[in-house]
Structure 1
Amino acid sequence: MISQGERAVGIARGWIGTPYLHQASVCGVGTDCLGLIRGIWREIYGAEPEQIPPYTADWSEPSRVETLWQGARRNLIELPEGAHEAPGQVLLFRMRASGVAKHLGVLSGIGGEARFIHAYTGHGVIESPLPVPWRRRIVARFQFP
């Protein structure tokens, strides 16, 4: 029997190659980083837990509101700092030290093979290594309920 995290990684890998499209969440057609997480949720649970209002690409950066982080806390299980890495964890990134958290990915490999799957502007959904520069940007880890 596969774990919930392994199932999430398998679903995410099915989205690889989907073009990047802001506010979209359709496998093979277009998605952004939140849309990828929404698509995984739908595959596991069915209906999404809440209606997603329109959002800007800057994720409320001018107002300094942590909109994406707040939404993740409402719908996912936040892991304590220092929790062991496990495939399927949802990673929340702050792209600039002074900015709001505004990028999500799914941890797909751990240890020396650390990788994550994410929808990235200009690249679409890809599986990337998770080197130190990316790791430094992680501000929270979550798991699907």
Structure 2
Amino acid sequence: MNDDIRTRVLSIAGSWTGTPYRHQGSTKNIGCDCLGLIRGIWRELYGTEPELPRPYAPDWAERSGEDRLMQAAIRYFGAPVPQGEGRPGDLLLFRWRPDCSAKHAGILCKDMHFIHAYEQAAVIRSALVPSWQRKVAAAFEFPLG
């Protein structure tokens, strides 16, 4: 991926910091969930979203039986980067357990941190501590456009 896009992704993600958590939201400074954060970054980078998600319940990943978040990431970002080779500006997907669908997303930052919409709080920058690292299911580079 072009370093310019990585820089832009990090800048855009950082500008969402403090946006309140809102299930299914995707509006900076108003409210978003983790998918809404990624949707908002995509819109700022490319002008429009490739598709609008269907309405989803908070427990969508547990109920659907499909790995919908991972499937959508592959559709729009391409193949994941090799495990452990994510770079700042990459999309991270997380699984709460190895046998579950990916359910959380964030943006990898420098110094082992990531930006994500944290439920019951806001968009924050968190340390990618070992407990979060173990949950990383895949990393994806944003497309060149």
Same-fold call, TM cutoff 0.5: yes
Cα separation, 2, equivalents of 1:104 and 1:65: 16
> Which residue is equivalent to 1:71?
72
TM-score normalised per structure 1: 0.91
Deviates more, 1:130-139 or 1:55-64: 55-64
- 2:58 matched to 1:29? no
Shift of 1:15: 0.2
Look up the SS of the partner of 1:3 in the other structure. helix
**Matched residue count:** 142
> Which residues of structure 1 form unaligned runs of 5+?
none
Residues 23-71 of structure 1 show CA distances to partners (whole Å, capped at 9, x for unaligned) of: 0100000000000000000001001011211112123313421111111
> Which residue is equivalent to 1:96?
97
> Which residues of structure 2 form unaligned runs of 5+?
none
Query: Are the aligned partners of 1:78 and 1:141 in contact in 2 as well (CA < 8 Å)?
Result: no
Look up the SS of the partner of 2:140 in the other structure. strand
Instruction: Write the mapping of 1:1-145 to structure 2, written as runs, cut at 5 A.
Output: 3-82=4-83, 84-109=85-110, 113-145=111-143
Percentage of matched positions with identical amino acids: 46
Which structure features the higher share of strand residues? 1
TM-score normalised per structure 2: 0.91
Cα separation, 1, equivalents of 2:99 and 2:80: 23
Shift of 1:2: 5.3
Letter in 1 for 2:127: P
